[in-house]
Structure 1
Amino acid sequence: MKKIIAILTVGLSMTACVSEDINSDPNSAYSAVPGSLVNYAQKELSDYVNTPNVNENNFRLTMQYWQETIYVNESNYDFTNRNVSNQIYRDNYSNVLNNLGKAKGIINTYVPSVVEAPDWELNKKNQLAIIDIMQVYTYQLLVDTFGNVPYTQGADLDKYPLPAYDDAATIYVDLIKRINADIANLDTHAAGFDSFDEGEKVYHGDIPSWIIFANSLKLKLGIGIADSNPALAQSTALSAIAAGVMTSPEENAQFNYLPDSPNFNPLYENLSTRNDFIGGKTLVDNMNTNADPRISKYYKLAADGSGVYKGQVIGLPGSYRVFSRIANYAYDPETPGVLLNYTEVAFYIAEANARWNTAAAATAYGTAVTASIVEWGGTATEAATYLAAHPYNAANWKKSIGEQAWVAMYNQALTSWNFWRRLDFPVLLAPASAISNAGGKVPVRMAYPVLEQQVNNTNWKAASDAIGGDLLTTKLFWDKF
């Protein structure tokens, strides 16, 4: 993997061009083979989802897991100072979707050799389905972040440099159609295609694993619209569970990083040489109060020698010499980059049961909480003790699942943000020092990129009007309560 990425990086830097369009990729060498483009897109996607870089992904701060030490703009929801949304667009549209779209184009026009020809049609369908699954995943991220986004014209930036925005609810319906088609097209009888499988680093072209991931993503899509389109949500989620979703950590969708630059985990990249982050008081206090067995895996003991875990008030600066720093997992260059894992899926199953099969909800809740504790190195006994103190409450299931998902998704803050907005638990309060544009609330969406206002103004204006205003406080279509 390191060799492939290194070669591609050199090619990218040599072919850079100047562009003022935020959606166009100034760093793409599309003469590469599809496996290399997929490799690059997967790494860029994992880097975005997992990075704590304040220029790109501040959701660990938004969800009050972490707090900044000196520069606290992002803890107070000032995302425009660094043009964070610009970078989110570049990461996902340029680096991920555009490269995946180019890989599709190459595959569709590829003429197989005589040796490849007998298996090509099956291999072609598998490759296109794998790429499309990653596109579905990425578009859901974008919709869940902004609302209406470029979609119909979003993955072909050569043809549509200034793409129109599509209705978010309509996009969700189409993503479900796409994931269903992808699942149907994945064929375990194909022999495989070495150059593609070597470049694809999540499951290395293993089709049974991709089927499980696709069903798990389908479950996520269904749960996402549970309050806005209940009938479609229920049929989508339950059919995904029945078809087979993740049942163990061995099936996680993750990008495995390497020890050396540029292929180490972005957590390590951002924390190993800087002291920008400490524990946030909201979660640290929760874990202290509840004797949570995961706390030593999330945070280090406070550096002041007090022998306790200590988090700083959200929005205020604090010294890493006084408060708890982030635990060792963030300082390991090879910590995997999670895209979707068993614990997340277990919480979706718990929520599905709470909504549509209440008799099984308590058991599913226990399974989800246990999965998280074990994921972080705890034992089944510790999980049982924790659950005894935090039993499932059927009368207020959103509180039970919402609060426990928040704790469990500590290293998956984008996912945590979705759980919190959908279930409205835990109760998170904006800091008194938050910017006025936040309206005294924790943001429920990201504002569109400033560069979109400047370069793609007509389409930006139409999208902003359609969703009710380009504000941090504008709820997405699925955020009903």
Structure 2
Amino acid sequence: MTYMTIIKKIYSSLVFVGMLAGAVSCKKELDKNLQNPNGVPSKDIKGKDVFPSALNNTAAMILGQAVYSTGTATAAFASEWMGYTARTTSYSASGAQLQIELFTLNSTYSNGLWEGQYHNIFDYNFVIANSDATSVLSGAAKVMRALVFEDLVDIYGNIPYKQAVDPSGNIRPAYDTDSTIYRSLITDLDSAIISLKASQSGADDAADVLFKGDKTKWVQFANTIKMRILIRQSVNGDQTYIKQQFTAIQTEGSGFLSQEAGVNPGYTDAVNQQSPLWNNYGFEVGGKNGKANHVFYIANKTMTDYLAARADPRLGRLYAESPSGVYDGNFLGDGVSARPVATLSTFGPGVLQSAAMDAVLMSASQSYLLQAEAAYKGYITGDYISLFRKGVEESFRYLGVPGGATAADAYIDGSADDRINIAASANPVKTIIYQKWIALCEMDGLEAWAEWRRTGFPDRTKPSLNPSVATNVIPERLLYPQTEFDNNTANVAMQKQTSADKYKAIFWSK
């Protein structure tokens, strides 16, 4: 990929941000771009001009939307595999959807997802290299770059890292091993924290459409990502190293995320200005007509049945009542005549809150449930039962369950199910992950997929009902994209990947 191609991508992002109400002004650059998109001097672009769109695009990718590229591949496959969504019974499976149901996603499928994530990394590289030394943006961009690299490792295993971080932009970067990258990301986040603590409030704060220049919240977010990276390795990783890193986090002292990490550059109910989740799965401007994905994707019966069987109050917030007055869905791969469309639920009001809603990178619930596991395993101080309870309460709060924390406490205390009441559980990690599975529903399928691979929870035995499925097991990873075989041939060939490698575990997996 040429440098000018990437500059064009940056300008397309600037156009997006410029259209958002209340977004950071990029008028000077936008005017030049519109007049002569191939001749804009790159020196006129600053980190503050790129950072809002980079944040939006990271969130959009986590929430299952295609960005940067013309490819249609998105992270939505993980939501289907994890029992959150499924194809509506009014459509038959074909193309990529059929591959999702048969667990046969090929290298072509990965093209758009891989391209989008690496473009996103380049944007953060650009922000780091083109922001003032005292600006919060440099450290914040390092945090975000680490988050995107973490997702890439979790999806593919070994990936280009060192040469992809290099701002000189090696177009044929070598691959690094997944476990080595994970350790490097901890170092990168430590560097980000140093930058953030040294930063000063200034004009660039307006470009921070996540924490609005609050460097303490950025440090807490960095610590939470570090915690997630370390917890991911806790099953089979170097325990001495993990404990040392957790000690360093606690010594640093800023703590962890206690609110949603929600991006919002000024989303509103207007064309090209809606929040990513709403724009992808919600309604056209005005809220009357559902978008294509609102019609195609409906509730997965795995989750609706699970919640209904346990009288979980989140059912009516995660999913909308069907036209026939019930909460129901379709299993992954089920036939077109399995259930009448009138009985099927779509995305609920706790998920699709409004066209102006924040685009959530990480929820407070996820942070507290990570802390609960870390405390249970002795990595941090604190009562794991209380942290678990807080994680469930935050899930109820975010989804808008009536009664909030009180309803969450009643739900926990009134159950003897070891997937709900951690105090009664012989396997607290199982309890934590089941509740995280619910908390991540329709918000972060990639994270739920990673946690399933790490722990084996929730139970996803024979997840597809498609009669053509040959191996009814969810893959451990995606295959490298065809674009890598076309453009980075020598380096990707060194990975010696075969189609069977989709069942090769990532280094941290159980």
CA contact (8 A) 1:67 1:75 kept: no
Change (3 A) 1:401 1:83: same
How many Å apart are 1:469 and its aligned residue? 6.7
- Distance in 2, Cα, partners of 1:458 & 1:332: 47
> What CA distance in whole angstroms lies between the structure 2 residues aligned with 1:5 and 1:326?
33
**More displaced, 331-340 or 346-355?**
331-340
Report SS of the residue matched to 2:151.
helix
Rounded to whole Å, the distance in 2 between the matches of 1:135 and 1:268 is 25
Q: 1:204 to 1:16 in 2, by over 3 A?
A: same
Q: CA deviation at 1:239?
A: 3.8
Shift of 1:407: 0.8
CA distance in 2, matches of 1:12, 1:420: 45
Q: Are residue 333 (structure 1) and residue 355 (structure 2) matched?
A: yes
After superposition, residues 51-130 of structure 1 pair within 5 angstroms as 51=64, 55-58=73-76, 59-69=78-88, 70=91, 71=93, 72-73=97-98, 75-77=100-102, 80=105, 83-94=108-119, 96-107=120-131, 121=133, 123-124=134-135, 126-130=136-140
Counterpart residue number, 1:473: 503
Distance 2:164 2:451 in 1: 26
Q: CA deviation at 1:238?
A: 4.8
1:47 aligns to what? 60
Amino acid at match of 1:270: N
Offset of 1:75 from its aligned partner?
A: 4.1
What secondary structure is seen at the aligned counterpart in 1 of 2:263?
strand
Partner secondary structure for residue 502 of structure 2: coil
1:253 Cα deviation (Å)?
4.4
The letter of the residue matching 2:433 is G
Contact 2:51 2:137 in 1 (8 A): no
For residue 176 of structure 1, the aligned residue among 186, 192, 195 is 186
Structure 1, unaligned runs of 5 or more: 18-26, 108-119
Tell me which residue corresponds to 1:117: none
- Quote the Cα distance in structure 2 between the aligned partners of 1:295 and 1:178: 39
Q: Secondary structure at the match of 2:360?
A: strand
The answer to whether residue 396 in structure 2 is matched with residue 387 in structure 1 is: no
| CA shift in 2, pair 1:314/1:200, >3 Å | same
Confirm or deny: 8 A CA contact 1:226 1:234 kept in the other structure: no
Q: Which amino acid aligns with 2:263?
A: Q
Q: 1:78 Cα deviation (Å)?
A: 5.6
The aligned counterpart of 1:409 is: 440
Partner of 1:367: 390
Query: Counterparts of 2:26 and 2:111 in 1: how far apart (Å)?
Result: 25
- Local SS of the residue matching 1:97: helix
Distance 1:28 1:57 in 2: 34
Which residue matches 2:377?
355
Does the aligned pair in 2 maintain the 1:398–1:424 contact within 8 Å? no
Please give the secondary structure, in 2, of the residue aligned with 1:169: helix
Does the Cα contact within 8 Å between 1:52 and 1:270 map onto a contact in 2?
yes
TM-score by length of 1: 0.84
Structure 2 Cα separation of the partners of residues 180 and 203 of structure 1: 19
Counterparts in 2 of 1:163 and 1:362: CA distance versus 1, 3 Å: same
Distance in 2, matches of 1:159 and 1:180, equals 23
Rate the CA distance shift 1:447–1:255 in 2: closer, same or farther, 3 A: farther
Name the SS for the 2:409 alignment partner.
helix
Partner of 1:206: 214
Structure 2 length-normalised TM = 0.80
Output the amino acid matched with 1:101: N
Q: Which residue is 2:249 aligned to?
A: 240
CA deviation after TM superposition for structure 1 residue 236, in Å: 2.4
Aligned twin of 2:147: 137
Report if the CA contact (8 A) 2:210-2:262 is conserved.
yes
Shift of 1:311: 1.4
1:219 aligns with 2:223: no
Find the counterpart in structure 1 of residue 365 from structure 2: 343
| CA 40–9 in structure 1, closer or farther in 2 if over 3 Å, else same | farther
Query: C-alpha offsets along residues 431-461 of structure 1, whole Å, 9 cap, x if unaligned?
Result: 1428768x32112211111111222122112
The residue matched to 2:427 in structure 1 has which SS?
A: helix
Q: Could you tell me how far apart the structure 2 residues matched to 1:12 and 1:202 are?
A: 26
Q: Using the alignment, how far apart are the partners of 1:218 and 1:446 within structure 2?
A: 24
CA distance in 2, matches of 1:201, 1:11: 24
Which of 324, 337, 343 is the equivalent residue of 2:345? 324
What is aligned with 2:164?
Answer: 154
Query: Could you tell which deviates more after superposition, 291-300 or 6-15?
Result: 6-15
SS class of match (2:507): coil
AA matched with 1:443: P
Gaps of 5+ in 2: 1-16, 67-71, 284-290
Paired AA for residue 232 in structure 1: Y
CA RMSD of aligned residues (A): 2.9
Give how far 1:348 is off: 0.5
1:113 aligned residue:
none
